[in-house]
Structure 1
Amino acid sequence: MLLRLLIADDHPIVRDGLRSALGGEPDMEVVGEASDGAQAVRLAAELRPNVVLMDLRMPGMDGVSAIRELSGTGPRVLVLTTFDTDVLPAMEAGASGYLLKDAPPEELARAVRATHAGETVLAPSAAGRLANDLRRPTRGKLSKRELEVLRLVAGGATNKGAAAALFISEASVKTHLLHVYAKLDVRDRASAVAEAYRRGILND
């Protein structure tokens, strides 16, 4: 079954380029295009995409507001934007990843597949920005809930599985993991688990 993709960007030339780049992938199908956040929310309900590729700075309803509307409704949202200044608001709204528009087509295609698989994808500069935004005096010390989430992830749980085990939302699991990444200075769940074992956090 093809991965169903919805593109949301207010620039037609960008949408055309993304459709050409991703529509040519053998396992992907671009099912629709939106020029603003409100249209993206409407089309997502109608077309049932697996992944929404979302710009943030659009007229009317912006990308962060649209992500908030889409959170928990089915599709995963991968942000594709020009700036790395809105990483934290986008991720806290429910985005699954954050890439910049200078990403090569093959990297973008990999990111779409990873997003569909439930992984969190961050461009290097976005990861750095997120770490700075989340940095606290207690950086490196995980909260009780963050440790619970990390233990479940280390045991092989998906975000959905961890959410069910802890009776919290999948978006909450994602936020806890982002805090873990920032505190451990890593970019993904595998690195977080490895670093936690290295520090002895998961050894007791």
Structure 2
Amino acid sequence: MKVLLVEDDAALAEALGEALTDAGVLVEQAATGGEADFLVRTERYDAVILDLGLPDGDGSRWLAEWREDAIELPVLVLTARTRWSDKAAGFSAGADDYVTKPFETAEVLFRLHALVRRSHGHAHPLLRIGELAFDTHTGSVTLAGRPVSLTAQESRLLAYLAHAAPRVVSRSELAEHVYDRDHEPDSNVIDVQISRLRRKLGATCIETRRGRGYRLVDGDAAS
């Protein structure tokens, strides 16, 4: 999961960014609405965490502009404003969820996972593809009931494929959603990591569609 954190409080942004990174989330940051607006329009994210009190304007104004321009990625509003009128303004602008400060990082993480999961059409936090199960809350993976150990990068790659399944995901889409924009890999790096996942999950679990990309499938059904 690749998330844009829009927060002008440097200490809070650093602490939350580190906590989310430790939980396996790829986090990029913006301190102003203008910077966030540029990134949202030029990069690909799975969700945005948006503060309302930004130095260059209310976050809800930027959000309303995104929605008017059909930018539909999930947005979690994170703010110290607790009045119902403020919450109503955020939801009216197009927010998908709302968390007030102070907050528990675990709650932000759970809500993020729920937003991203639902944006892909999944209601249940446990994603199953054949005997493979991916827990979106904990990031744990099991195959036929047995735990599978993955690196952080392998876990992010599998998570994106699992959310997208059974859709075919192109290499460019994987690069945009799984890797930092300053360290986007070439196709060979993605091929190597897909190969490592196949060794851990089974050779037929990830299908290659030549010229199109990859698709997570039921390994037994594919064999």
If the length of structure 1 is used for normalisation, what is the TM-score?
A: 0.53
Question: 2:15 aligns to what?
Answer: 17
Structure number with larger C-alpha Rg = 2
Question: 1:52 aligns to what?
Answer: 48
Counterpart check, 1:41 vs 2:37: yes
Question: 2:26 aligns to what?
Answer: 29
Give per-residue Cα distances to partners, 1:114-154, cap 9 Å, x unaligned. Answer: 121238xxxxxxxxxxxxxxxxxxxxxxxxxxxxxxxxxxx
Shift of 1:63: 0.4
SS of the aligned residue for 1:111 comes to helix
- 1:70-89 mapped onto 2 (5 Å cutoff): 70-71=66-67, 72-85=70-83, 86-89=86-89
Alpha-carbon separation, structure 2, partners of 1:47 and 1:61: 22
Contact 1:7–1:52 (CA under 8 A) maintained in structure 2: yes
Alpha-carbon separation, structure 2, partners of 1:117 and 1:96: 13
Distance 1:84 1:50, change over 3 A: same
Could you list the structure 1 runs, at least 4 aligned residues long, displaced by more than 6 angstroms after superposition: none
- 1:27-176 mapped onto 2 (5 Å cutoff): 28-30=25-27, 32-71=28-67, 72-85=70-83, 86-118=86-118
SS of the aligned residue for 1:118 comes to helix
Q: Which amino acid aligns with 1:83?
A: R
Q: Which amino acid aligns with 1:15?
A: A
Give per-residue Cα distances to partners, 1:31-77, cap 9 Å, x unaligned. Answer: x2111112111111222111110000111132001111222313211
Q: Determine which structure has the larger strand proportion and give its number.
A: 2
Question: 1:127 aligns to what?
Answer: none
The share of aligned pairs that are identical, in percent, is 27
Structure 1 residues without counterparts, runs of 5 or longer: 120-204
Alpha-carbon separation, structure 2, partners of 1:118 and 1:40: 23
SS of the aligned residue for 2:53 comes to coil
Contact 1:51–1:112 (CA under 8 A) maintained in structure 2: yes
Query: What is the root-mean-square deviation of aligned Cα atoms in Å?
Result: 1.4
Q: Which amino acid aligns with 2:91?
A: M
- Report which stretch shifted further, 47-56 or 63-72: 63-72
Alpha-carbon separation, structure 1, partners of 2:19 and 2:112: 12
Alpha-carbon separation, structure 2, partners of 1:6 and 1:15: 11
How many residues are treated as equivalent by the alignment? 115
Q: Which amino acid aligns with 1:36?
A: T
Contact 1:37–1:66 (CA under 8 A) maintained in structure 2: yes
Q: Determine which structure has the larger helix proportion and give its number.
A: 1
Alpha-carbon separation, structure 1, partners of 2:31 and 2:79: 14
